[in-house]
Structure formats: structure tokens, C-alpha cells
A and B are shown apart, each in its own frame.
Chain A
Amino acid sequence: MKQILLITDGCSNVGVSPVVAAAHAKAEGIAVNIVGVLDYGDVGELGAAEIEEIARAGGGLSRLVNTRQLSQTVQMITRKTAMQSIQLAVQKELKNVLGNGSIEALPPDKRSEVVRVIDELGETTKLQVALLIDASASMKPKLRAVEEAIHDLMLSLQARQGGSEIAVFHFPSSKYGDDCMMDLDWTDNLSGVSSLFPKLQMNGTTPTGPAIMHVIDFYRRGDYGRKSRDETDGMMSDYVV
């Protein structure tokens, strides 16, 4: 299972539309969740609508919260979407087997069996979550809460029986011309990591769409990397930049 979790507080303003980018992610089998953080100032009606649409396009969930609810929301939304992905996959299987797509429509005893399988898979399937953090100027006072939420998410993921990994990105990158920068490569452990976002230089743009594309690319490269590692002669290594 692959997810992107976007944490932002406002509208994107440069580059490809984040809705289009999220739809790309979904096409690659990556669900996009998004949490809008409200505290100071607000996301506005436009922001709220965009947030909802990104999640819809990305096959994930959206929530608007204040920083105090961030940790709880991040772990909850990640879990729900993971369960939903499993549910969709199981539902597809059901369609083949029973000619009936909806779990809710099953009689109670059959439903019980199916949900048992969903719970089992939800607990044991490998899960990757790429966190994409909006680090534009208005987010600065919220980054501490974001870091806390990331640590909290790691704690929840570590309790799963299936393997779980997170990676962390922020955007815009402080380097000129880059939309997005990686802060942390795939890991299943945050215990030595004290600060994820040291000395960020905030600038005004919010390239949410391009940043999502960047992370999709990262996922893709990771998959190639893994494949080429499996192959003896590393044929694919040319693709791995």
C-alpha cells in the first residue's frame, strides 16, 4: 500500500494543479490523503474546496483541523485510507467471486468473514507513507506540531505487524528552482531524528501540484531501484538517477 499524506494550510499557486497531480498519484496506485491545518488565519473557502478535491482525485481522505488535533488526525486518516485500500481490493475480488461488489450488501455472517480478511490484511500488508509538508511561510508556526504528528504516526505504524515505512518531503525547496526537497528517505524508525526541518528558508510560493509529482516520481524510482536490485546485472540502473 502506498500513500502520500499532504499537510498544508492553503492554496497552491504555481505549476500543475494539485488535483491533476493527485489523480496521477491515484493512477500509479498511490492514495493521496490531505490534512488542512487551520490555526492562524484560515484556509478560506477556496482552500477548503481545493483540499477536498485533491483527496477525491487522489482516492484518499481530507480533514481540516487545528494543530492540537493534528497528530490524532494524521494517524487516523492514514489508518482509514489503508483500510479503505484493502477494502477496495477485497471488493474487487468479491465481484469476481460473488458477482456482488458491496460488502455492506452481504448477509451478516458472510460480511463477518470478509471483514475478518480485511482486518487481517490491513494489519499485515506493507504500508509506505510519503509525507509531503507545505513549508511556505504561513506554515512556519505549525511545523513543530507537524513534526510531532510525524513522530506520532511512526509510533502507530511501528505497532503494525506488516512492515511500514515513511519518507518526509517539504515544499517549496529552499534551493531555487526545486519544487520539493526530501528531508528523510524511507525509514521505519525515527529514534535518532531530532529535527526534521532544520533552518528552513521559507518563501512565498506554494507549488503543491509539482511537489506531488515529485513524490510520485520518487515512488517510481524507488520501485525501479528495488527491481534492479532484484535483477543480477542491474539492467535498470540507467533509469535510476
Chain B
Amino acid sequence: MTTSFKINLRRGMAVTGKWKRNRYQVERLLGEGANGKVYLVQRDRSWYAMKVGADAVDLQSEINVLQALAKQEKPGGRSRQDTLPGGANGEPFLIDVDDLYGPDGREYSFYIMRYVRGVTLSEYLSQNGKEWFPLVGLNLLNKLAALHSKGWVFGDLKVENVLVADYGYVELVDYGGATAAGRGIRQFTEIYDRGYWNAGSRSADAKYDLFSFGVLCLQLLEPKRLQQLTTGLPQNRSIEELLQLSKENETLKPVSEWLHRALTGDFWDAAEGAEAWRLLMHRRQLRRRSDTPGWLKGLAAVSAVLLGVSVYWLLRGGL
């Protein structure tokens, strides 16, 4: 099989595309997964991310998804910052597709995408604090909503495939699992999979991503206990177990009702989920504003009494 994927590009190496002859200079490895390695590269003084595929056909299949998405992008059609795939300033996500000759003399196919200067979700929260969680969650839901509105499901949503840049700006990477709605999910990771938790099919629908989003929340805030759940008997795995975790976590408790809806497929798609999430955030802020200043509560009580008294006098006077 493709276990012989050993390409290793070093810093300073120049890579020239076999077909289009674009030249890229390798800076460093950004990350790797089951399908390939991603390098930070430079061309004409701009930074890009280069994904080198372990298998040319698999990588092409992923590129096809990115190209299909790019075609669906209506120029100037959207006003929200979460247009996808692409940057805040409208630059495309997929930039170049070509083959290269590796140091071992073999050919590898690669694609060039926008470099996301960010860290994984879990790193972001540990560096910047859990108070960013509601916002980052919302941004991620908006990203998913943009995909869903185009008839696609992300599929392999997990910590490693979400990068977060400054101020909680979220970008999805790795479209290897992205699947047209109605088809079988192309690639998934067990613990984020709806089928694994005996909670539904592996057909691509928007609810599939929302389920994974729910597990992702637990993975971010209760990773150890989530891991423990996976060691039990498969027939016992259930949504109830997941929800129990969320209720016992300080950060997740306020969204546990939302998580219940996400895990049970109650939201139609990520847009509906995002809307509910947003409302929840605002309601929480309102509630917090009303409970913090104790003296205000006292004042309110006093004014209620005063009001009662004045109404009494008014009524009395009127009689």
C-alpha cells in the first residue's frame, strides 16, 4: 500500500512544478496526516501551504472538491467573512496544482493553497484561554454553514483539521473527507463519527457535521473522559454518554442543551445551529449582566415596592 510515503523536503529546497513550471522554495513542514504532508513554501515573496499527496488519485479527488467549491463561489456575492474556501480578502484557497520530483527521484502530486497562519483549535484555547471557546465555536459553525449552503458536507471534522488564527478567525483545512450531500462520507475519524456512537448513518448530510462538531467540543474540553468512553463496549456507546460529559463540564454546561440538539440531529444544518449558538451567547451575556451587580437588584426591588405603593395611592386617589 501507500505506506512507502517517505517524501522529505528540506528547508531551502527548490521545487519546480512539472507541468506549469512554477517554482517554490520550501521553508518547513507544517503538518502531516494520513493523506500527505503539508509544507510552508514561498513563491515571489508570498507564503503558501503545499500539500504533497501520498497517492496521486486520492489527492486529485481532494483537489476536485476544492475546484468544485471554487467554481460555486460567486464573485462578490457574499458579504460575510466566512466565504469558503478563501480568505477574508477574497484570495482563493486553491492556488496551484502540479507534480514534483521528490529527492528520491519519484513523482509526487501536490497542490498549493493559502497558508493559514494559525494553530489547531486545542492549541488556540490553551494559549488564549477558554473564554474564546464560544466565539471560535461560532466561527467554525459559520464556516460549516457556508459549505452546507453549497450542498457539501465537510465529513472529517476534527481538532487537527481546524486552524485558528488571531482573534479566533477559523479556517478548515483538509477537504479529503468533504462529500457531496447524499453520498457516503469519504473519510472520517472514528470518535467524531455519528455511526461510531450508534447515532445514525454515514450518509453525508449537514447533520453529520453538526454531530462531529458536538464531539469536537468534548474533545476540546474533556479529552481524557471522552477517550475513556471509547474503551467501553461498542453497543453501549451512545449520545447519552456524550451529553453526560457536557453537563459536567463548566465551559460546556451552558451549551449542553445546544449539544443535545446537535448530537440528535435536531438542527437542520450549520446555519440553524449557528443561529441558536449565537442566541445562546447573547442570552448568557444578558443574564450575566443582570446578575453581577447585586446593588442593582436591590434597587430594582426597592423601585418595585415604590411602584406598588404609588399605584396603591393612585388607585386610592381615583376611587
| Docked complex Cα distance between A12 and B300 (Å) | 83
Contacts of B183 in A (CB 8 A): 123, 159-161
Inter-chain contact A158/B201, CB cutoff 8 Å: yes
| Docked complex Cα distance between A156 and B179 (Å) | 14
Contacts of A116 in B (CB 8 A): 64
Inter-chain contact A115/B203, CB cutoff 8 Å: no
Inter-chain contact A123/B195, CB cutoff 8 Å: no
Contacts of B99 in A (CB 8 A): 104, 108
Inter-chain contact A119/B184, CB cutoff 8 Å: no
Inter-chain contact B1/A61, CB cutoff 8 Å: yes
Chain A 64-90 interface mask (CB, 8 Å, partner B; 1/0): 000000011000000010010001000
Residue among B1, B56, B184 making CB contact with A123, cutoff 8 Å:
B184
A104-B107, A112-B63, A115-B64 known; A156+B184 contact, CB < 8 A = yes
Inter-chain contact B109/A104, CB cutoff 8 Å: yes
Q: Which of A105-135 contact B (CB under 8 A)?
A: 107-108, 111-112, 115-116, 118-119, 123
Chain B: CB-nearest residue to A119:
B61
A94: Cβ under 8 A from any B Cβ: no
Inter-chain contact B185/A159, CB cutoff 8 Å: yes
| Docked complex Cα distance between A148 and B201 (Å) | 15
Chain B: CB-nearest residue to A151:
B234
Inter-chain contact A87/B57, CB cutoff 8 Å: yes
Q: How many residues of B contact A (CB 8 A)?
A: 26
Contacts of A107 in B (CB 8 A): 19
Min CB–CB distance B43 → chain A (angstroms): 17
Chain B: CB-nearest residue to A155:
B195
Inter-chain contact B184/A72, CB cutoff 8 Å: no
Inter-chain contact A158/B64, CB cutoff 8 Å: no
Inter-chain contact A108/B98, CB cutoff 8 Å: yes
| Docked complex Cα distance between A116 and B19 (Å) | 20
Q: How many residues of A contact B (CB 8 A)?
A: 26
A50: Cβ under 8 A from any B Cβ: no
Contacts of B109 in A (CB 8 A): 104, 108
Contacts of A115 in B (CB 8 A): 57, 60-61, 64
Contacts of B67 in A (CB 8 A): 112
A119-B64, A161-B183 known; A155+B202 contact, CB < 8 A = yes
Select the residue from A107, A108, A160 with max chain B CB neighbours within 10 A: A108
B248: Cβ under 8 A from any A Cβ: no
Min CB–CB distance A111 → chain B (angstroms): 5
Chain B: CB-nearest residue to A194:
B235
Contacts of B56 in A (CB 8 A): 103-104, 111
B266: Cβ under 8 A from any A Cβ: no
Inter-chain contact B190/A160, CB cutoff 8 Å: no
Contacts of A123 in B (CB 8 A): 183-184
Inter-chain contact B97/A108, CB cutoff 8 Å: yes
Inter-chain contact B61/A161, CB cutoff 8 Å: no
A156-B184, A156-B195, A161-B182 known; A118+B57 contact, CB < 8 A = yes
A165: Cβ under 8 A from any B Cβ: no
Where chain B touches its partner, the secondary structure class is: mixed
Chain A: CB-nearest residue to B59:
A115
Where chain A touches its partner, the secondary structure class is: helix
A152: Cβ under 8 A from any B Cβ: yes
| Docked complex Cα distance between A158 and B201 (Å) | 8
Residue among B1, B182, B202, B234 making CB contact with A158, cutoff 8 Å:
B202
Contacts of B190 in A (CB 8 A): 71-72
Contacts of A83 in B (CB 8 A): 57
Min CB–CB distance B102 → chain A (angstroms): 13
| Docked complex Cα distance between A161 and B182 (Å) | 8
Chain A: CB-nearest residue to B65:
A119
Min CB–CB distance A173 → chain B (angstroms): 27
| Docked complex Cα distance between A130 and B60 (Å) | 30
Contacts of A158 in B (CB 8 A): 201-203
Min CB–CB distance B208 → chain A (angstroms): 10
Contacts of A72 in B (CB 8 A): 190
Inter-chain contact B19/A108, CB cutoff 8 Å: yes
| Docked complex Cα distance between A4 and B46 (Å) | 50
Contacts of B107 in A (CB 8 A): 104
| Known A155-B201, A161-B183; 20 more pairs at CB < 8 Å | A80-B1, A87-B57, A103-B56, A103-B57, A104-B99, A108-B19, A108-B99, A111-B60, A112-B63, A112-B64, A115-B61, A118-B57, A119-B61, A152-B196, A158-B203, A159-B184, A159-B203, A159-B204, A160-B183, A161-B184
Q: Which residues of A contact B (CB under 8 A)?
A: 61, 63, 71-72, 80, 83, 87, 103-104, 107-108, 111-112, 115-116, 118-119, 123, 148, 152, 155-156, 158-161
Q: Which residues of B contact A (CB under 8 A)?
A: 1, 19, 56-57, 60-61, 63-64, 67, 97-99, 107, 109, 182-185, 190, 195-196, 201-204, 234
12 CB < 8 A contacts A-B: A61-B1, A63-B1, A103-B56, A108-B98, A111-B60, A115-B60, A115-B64, A118-B61, A155-B201, A159-B203, A160-B184, A161-B182
| Leading 10 A-B pairs by shortest Cβ distance | A159-B184, A159-B202, A115-B60, A104-B56, A159-B203, A155-B195, A160-B184, A148-B234, A108-B97, A115-B61
